[in-house]
């Protein structure tokens, strides 16, 4: 039996044997061998930094030693360096419901969002409001504040249930993160986009926690612009460049403001004046970090080989199993589910609120169970279906139960805060 046939239908009391059985019939099981998961580590943080593909070091060595070292500047043409932002964009496009020619991989999420918010403001002159979720990952809101300050606009921060009602005739765009970084709550892309359009506003979506984690259908939802990162569920490597999406219908009209030579119609004509490229290349700005960018392809190739419906089915089964086990084995230890209980509203992560969450997560990491902590009180566990097993879920909760039952998390050294949590 496959997971997609019984997602959510776990037996009342889950055993480790049951978990092992799930792994034996998992249609995605072989993908784990494509990643390096260190011995003794249960990696539940792929929603923050995806694991390394085993093909990555060889690929990086080839780019550095052969393409850079031996072929030098000829690699801009011969190794496809110059076209990487668009060729990778075309590879990524089907994973997010976009067409070829609508996606580029470039720059950071923050910078790409600046470009698109600026373009959106030009497309809706006279309108003043940009609506975002107040509890969103802060960089999106900070960038919106920067654009608003430069353009005399207003940032409106509301929480998820108030987004639809906040959209009015003065709204130029909503800028919403598809899956909430802290809770894993899925925002309804189709409904909110339709609501924005009904009011004449644009809909911009941030896919940082959904690209590679669940099916995304940007064109099916008629989305206007989107951004997302490649170093989380797409396994592109630390700090790998982000992506941006502009649908074909907006490419001729949308204009991004960071008008560098890579966005020029003819970069090597070295013209005095700026003429935007007539295609998605207009959304590029300058020279890209080729070594890092080329590694994005390694992660994307693996993701493209996986069936996204199966990825979603396993993701649901993993998170259901984790929630059931934590509630089965850690009852009375003060954990409150901070993610939606309804699987249809939950992304590929599970968060629990706990007053001592920071120390508890430190104790878990010390024992090889790597999740993360988000202030003020959220312990967050990401479940990446390509390399997390059901037995890992069992073993992780086993360690959590031991840390709670023994009080090991109270050790003074777990109270000191590190720079990156």
Ligand X SMILES: *Cc1c(COP(=O)(O)O)cnc(C)c1O
| Footprint on this chain of ligand X (rule: CB under 6 A) | 108-110, 137, 139-140, 177, 181, 206, 208-209, 229, 242
The catalytic residue among 114, 181, 225, 231 is 231
* Side-by-side strand order, sheet with 349-353: 336-337, 349-353, 378-382, 372-374
The catalytic residue among 206, 224, 372, 392 is 206
CB closer to ligand X, 22 vs 230 = 230
The catalytic residue among 99, 137, 151, 188 is 137
CB closer to ligand X, 7 vs 208 = 208
Question: Cβ 107 to ligand X, closest distance in Å?
Answer: 8
CB closer to ligand X, 231 vs 394 = 231
Decide: helix, strand or coil at residue 353: strand
Return the number of other C-beta atoms located less than 10 Å from residue 65's C-beta. Answer: 11
Question: Cβ 112 to ligand X, closest distance in Å?
Answer: 8
Question: Cβ 212 to ligand X, closest distance in Å?
Answer: 13
Neighbouring C-alpha atoms within 13 Å toward the C-beta of 4: 10
Strand partners, 185: 346
CB closer to ligand X, 3 vs 346 = 346
314 annotated active-site: no
CB closer to ligand X, 184 vs 297 = 184
Instruction: State the residue for tokens 């566990």.
Output: 381
Question: Cβ 410 to ligand X, closest distance in Å?
Answer: 31
232 annotated active-site: yes
Give Cα 331 distance to the centre of its chain.
31
358 annotated active-site: no
Contact 230, 303 (CB under 8 A): no
Q: Which residues contact 53 (CB under 8 A, 6 or more apart)?
A: 34, 35, 36, 235, 298, 299, 302
CB closer to ligand X, 139 vs 219 = 139
Question: Cβ 347 to ligand X, closest distance in Å?
Answer: 11
The catalytic residue among 160, 380, 381, 390 is 380
Question: Cβ 132 to ligand X, closest distance in Å?
Answer: 10
206 annotated active-site: yes
Strands (E), 170-324: 171-177, 202-206, 225-228, 243-245
Q: Which residues contact 177 (CB under 8 A, 6 or more apart)?
A: 133, 136, 137, 140, 187, 205, 206, 208, 209
Integer-rounded Cα Rg, in Å, for the chain is 22
380 annotated active-site: yes
Strands (E), 281-356: 336-337, 349-353
CB closer to ligand X, 49 vs 93 = 49
Strand partners, 228: 243
Measured between alpha carbons, how far is residue 137 from residues 92, 378, 399 in Å?
23, 14, 29
Decide: helix, strand or coil at residue 138: helix
Residue 11, token pair as written in the block: 């037996």
Question: Cβ 170 to ligand X, closest distance in Å?
Answer: 25
Stated as kind and residue range, the H or E segment containing 184 is none
Question: Cβ 381 to ligand X, closest distance in Å?
Answer: 16
CB closer to ligand X, 108 vs 219 = 108
Strand partners, 226: 205, 245
Query: Which candidate, 383, 299, 298, places its Cα nearest to that of 339?
Result: 383
The catalytic residue among 127, 182, 232, 281 is 232
Q: Which positions are annotated as active-site residues?
A: 137, 206, 231-232, 380
């Amino acid at each position: 039996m496959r997971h997609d046939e019984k997602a959510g239908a776990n037996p009342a009391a889950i055993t480790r044997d049951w978990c092992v059985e799930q792994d034996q019939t998992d249609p995605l099981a072989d993908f784990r061998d494509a990643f390096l998961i260190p011995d003794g580590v249960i990696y539940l943080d792929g929603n923050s930094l995806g694991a390394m593909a085993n093909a990555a070091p060889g690929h990086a060595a080839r780019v550095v030693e052969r393409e850079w070292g031996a072929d030098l500047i000829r690699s801009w043409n011969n190794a496809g360096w110059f076209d990487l932002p668009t060729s990778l964009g075309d590879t990524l496009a089907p994973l997010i419901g976009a067409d070829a020619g609508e996606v580029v991989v470039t720059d950071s999420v923050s910078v790409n969002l600046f470009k698109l918010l600026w373009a959106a403001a030009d497309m809706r002159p006279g309108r003043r409001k940009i609506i975002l979720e107040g509890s969103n990952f802060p960089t999106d809101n900070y960038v919106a504040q920067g654009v608003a300050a430069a353009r005399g606009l207003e940032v409106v921060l509301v929480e998820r249930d108030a987004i639809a009602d906040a959209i009015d005739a003065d709204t130029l765009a909503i800028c919403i993160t598809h899956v909430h970084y802290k809770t894993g709550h899925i925002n309804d892309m189709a409904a909110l986009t339709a609501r924005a359009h009904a009011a004449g506003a644009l809909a911009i979506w941030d896919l940082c926690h959904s690209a590679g984690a669940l099916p995304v259908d940007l064109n099916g939802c008629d989305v206007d612009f989107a951004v997302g990162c490649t170093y989380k569920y797409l396994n592109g490597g630390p700090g790998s460049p982000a992506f941006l999406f502009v649908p074909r219908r907006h490419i001729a009209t949308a204009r991004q403001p960071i008008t560098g030579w890579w966005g020029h119609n003819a970069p090597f004509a070295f013209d005095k004046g700026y003429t935007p490229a007539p295609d998605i290349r207009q959304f590029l700005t300058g020279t890209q970090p080729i070594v890092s960018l080329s590694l994005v392809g390694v992660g994307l190739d693996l993701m493209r080989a996986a069936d996204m419906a199966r990825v979603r089915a396993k993701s649901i089964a993993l998170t259901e199993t984790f929630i059931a086990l934590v509630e089965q084995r850690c009852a009375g230890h003060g954990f409150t589910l901070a993610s939606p209980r309804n699987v249809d509203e939950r992304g590929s992560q599970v968060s629990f609120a706990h007053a001592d969450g920071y120390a508890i997560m430190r104790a878990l990491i010390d024992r090889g169970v790597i999740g993360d902590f988000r202030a003020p009180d959220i312990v967050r566990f990401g479940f990446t279906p390509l390399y997390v097993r059901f037995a890992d879920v069992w073993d992780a909760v086993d360690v959590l139960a031991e840390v709670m039952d023994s009080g090991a998390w109270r050790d003074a050294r777990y109270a000191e805060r590190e720079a990156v949590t």
